[in-house]
Amino acid sequence: MLKIFTTQLNGVFQKIVNQEEVFEDASRFLAQAIIGEGTVYIHGTKEFVGIVSEITEGAEQSDSIKPLFSNGEIQSLSPVDRVLLFTRQTNDQEAIDIAKKLTELNIGLVIVSTTINHEDQLSDLADVFINYELTRKLVPTDEGDRIGFPTLLVGLFIYHCLLLTINEIIADFD
C-alpha cells in the first residue's frame, strides 16, 4: 500500500508542478506585497489550519508572512497586503465568506482549493486560483473502498512551492 500511495501522491505533486504559469502568477502576485512593504496573510479552513502553524512555528518563518486571523479576528489589512487562502473544496462556506469579505475590502487574494462535482463558488473571487485537483482518496483497498486523502500534505507542498518561487522573485528584484 505504501508504494501505491507514494506513486499516487507523486502523480498529484506532478499535476500541481505542471501548473507552472499559475504558480508564477500567484508567486508574483504575493511577492508584490512583500516588495511593496505589505504582508502576505495566510489562512486555511478545516485541516488546512496546519499551514498556519507551519508559518508561525515552522523552520522558515518570515516577518512578511503572517496568519490572517489573530484572536479570532481578521488582521487589519492594507491595500498592499495579499491573502493566501487554503480550503479543501470550492464549496466551503467558511472560505467563501472570508473571500467575499476580502473582495469587498479590495484585498488581493490567492485561493488554493479543488473543485468537486463542478461546484465552484470560490475561484471567481480569487485574483489567482490554484486547483490542487485532489478529488478522491488515493489508495484502493481490498474491499473496494479507497483510503488516503492527504489534503494538508498537498497544501503544504503547494505552500512551499509558492515560497520557493516567491524567494526567487524577490532575489531577482534585489
Q: Which CATH number characterizes residue 24's domain?
A: 3.40.50.10490
Q: What is the pTM of this model?
A: 0.94
As a whole number, mean pLDDT of residues 26-37 equals 95
**Grid coordinates belonging to 93:** 462556506
Q: Which domain holds residue 47?
A: 2-173
What is the total count of domains within the chain? 1
- Quote the mean pLDDT of the chain: 93
User: Residue for cell digits 490542487?
Assistant: 132
Model pLDDT for residues 95-129, shown as the tens digit of each residue: 999 999 999 999 999 999 998 777 678 999 999 99
Residue of 126, 125, 117, 114 whose CA lies nearest to 90 = 114
Q: Are 94 and 85 in contact (CB under 8 A)?
A: no
Model pLDDT for residues 139-154, shown as the tens digit of each residue: 999 999 999 999 999 9
